[in-house]
């Protein structure tokens, strides 16, 4: 066996053609770009003269877009409305994944419209329903998951994207986790606090700081500037969920990783200096990168570092922009020229 200290450093990400399955709330992201030239005479609000419009995949579908850009083969299981935005999502997803979109005639497809002027958000309008999907739709979604897990393109990782829009009902969460455990497929979860207690035993749980505090219902919020309180909150959540890894994204404060099974205890990675323009979609990029590194057997320290870097890269771009595998490798080499990306 060669001495690892003399082995050549590998500068590429540790995957070739990984397979992933995304399960969660999809949405349509609508953008309206323009310029503000005056105030409205009807109310103290700006008037935006719209010059450009665009529609993109959002929510769990944006995680699919990120995984596809990173070189993964992706299955997507979700629910859409029987409406124009649902059909548009189906069209936009072509070429990115194998979509398993279940139609619910009683709910609208979620649409988030952002109005942007001079690279700054002026307004966001949400059209959605957050009611739990019916038991009948849960059964259809779980059937689709069974087919994916037992099929020829069995995923290396399942990514749960819980945006609290109704897809990830208690029955859906419990059924999906049971099937993944039986199939031996690791699960990475990007949660919302309403469902925290249901995601027991997952391989990676990734809340942000706000979700951590809300999920634990802390009277005094934990913050990375107060390491003791942060450690206590992270350990409380890990004790509750019995997850293998807990990674908390901290916005401008970076990332907090706790993976005691690997001997990694409360590792705080500061945010890298960035020219922040738009934080939209950063969490989707983080979970996509983290999930593929998890599936590749990467250690949690490197998983957190690469994911942290990727999230910052996205924040330097206006709109929801995925990072490709080659761009991620290039950025790592630029920032960390002496470090390897191999597990």
Residues 213, 223: Cα–Cα separation, whole Å: 9
- Give the total number of structural domains in the chain: 1
Domain annotation covers residue 121: no
**CATH number, domain containing residue 213:** 3.40.1190.20
Per residue of the chain (343 residues), give pLDDT as tens. 333 333 333 456 777 789 999 999 999 999 999 999 899 999 999 999 999 999 999 999 999 999 999 999 999 999 999 999 999 999 999 999 999 999 999 999 999 999 999 878 899 999 999 999 999 999 999 999 999 999 998 999 999 999 999 999 999 999 999 999 999 999 999 998 788 889 999 999 999 999 999 988 888 899 999 999 999 999 999 999 999 999 999 988 889 999 999 999 999 998 876 655 555 668 899 999 999 999 999 999 999 999 998 887 776 665 667 888 888 888 888 888 777 665 5
Q: Where are the alpha helices (DSSP H) in 82-219?
A: 84-92, 135-150, 170-183, 209-216
Query: Nearest Cα to 297, choosing from 258, 241, 244?
Result: 244
Domain annotation covers residue 48: no
> And the tokens for 267?
């590792």
Where is 47: in which H helix or E strand? Answer: strand 46-59
Domain holding 141, by residue range, is 14-27+57-108+130-335
Domain annotation covers residue 204: yes
Query: Where in the sequence numbering do the catalytic residues fall?
Result: 284
Domain annotation covers residue 300: yes
Query: Nearest Cα to 158, choosing from 13, 304, 23?
Result: 23
Coil/strand/helix, residue 324: coil
Q: Are 320 and 29 in contact (CB under 8 A)?
A: yes
- 95, with CB counted inside 10 A (0-12, 13-18, 19+), is exposed
The helix/strand count (H/E) of the chain reads as 9, 13
The contacts of residue 90 (CB under 8 Å, 6+ apart) are 80, 99, 101
Q: What is the Cα Rg of the chain in Å? A: 20
User: Looking up tokens 């069995």, which residue turns up?
Assistant: 154
Strands 19-24 and 73-81: parallel
Domain annotation covers residue 46: no
Domain annotation covers residue 144: yes
Domain annotation covers residue 9: no
Domain annotation covers residue 51: no
Q: Are 190 and 162 in contact (CB under 8 A)?
A: yes
Beta strands of 60-144 (E only): which ranges?
A: 73-81, 98-104, 111-117, 120-127
Neighbours of 33 (CB within 10 A): 18
């Amino acid at each position: 066996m060669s001495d690892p200290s003399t082995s050549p450093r590998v500068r590429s990400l540790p995957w070739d053609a990984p397979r992933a399955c995304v399960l969660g709330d999809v949405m349509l992201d609508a953008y309206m770009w323009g310029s503000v030239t005056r105030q409205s005479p009807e109310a103290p609000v700006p008037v935006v003269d719209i010059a450009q419009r665009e529609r993109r995949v959002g929510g769990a579908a944006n995680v699919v877009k990120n995984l596809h850009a990173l070189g993964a083969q992706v299955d997507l299981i979700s629910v859409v409305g029987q409406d124009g935005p649902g059909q548009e999502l189906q069209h936009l997803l072509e070429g990115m994944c194998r979509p398993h979109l279940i139609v619910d005639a009683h709910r609208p497809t979620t649409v988030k419209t952002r109005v942007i002027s001079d690279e700054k958000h002026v307004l966001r309008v949400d059209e959605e329903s957050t009611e739990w999907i019916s038991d009948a739709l849960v059964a259809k979604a779980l059937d689709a998951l069974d087919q994916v897990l037992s099929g020829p393109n069995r995923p290396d990782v399942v990514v749960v994207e819980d945006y609290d829009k109704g897809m990830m009902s208690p029955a859906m969460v419990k059924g999906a986790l049971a099937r993944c455990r039986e199939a031996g497929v690791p699960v990475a979860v990007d949660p919302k606090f309403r469902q925290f207690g249901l995601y027991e035993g997952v391989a990676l749980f990734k809340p942000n700081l706000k979700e951590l505090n809300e999920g634990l219902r802390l009277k005094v919020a934990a913050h990375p500037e107060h390491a003791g309180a942060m450690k206590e909150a992270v350990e409380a959540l890990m004790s509750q969920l019995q997850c293998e890894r807990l990674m908390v994204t901290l916005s401008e404060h970076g990332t907090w990783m706790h993976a005691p099974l690997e001997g990694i205890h409360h590792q705080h990675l500061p945010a890298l200096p960035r020219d922040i323009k738009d934080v939209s979609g950063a969490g989707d990029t983080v979970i996509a990168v983290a999930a593929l590194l998890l599936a590749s057997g990467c250690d949690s320290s490197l998983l957190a570092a690469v994911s942290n870097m990727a999230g910052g890269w996205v924040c330097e771009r206006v709109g929801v922009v995925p990072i490709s595998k080659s761009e991620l490798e290039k950025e790592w080499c630029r920032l960390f020229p002496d470090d390897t990306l191999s597990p």
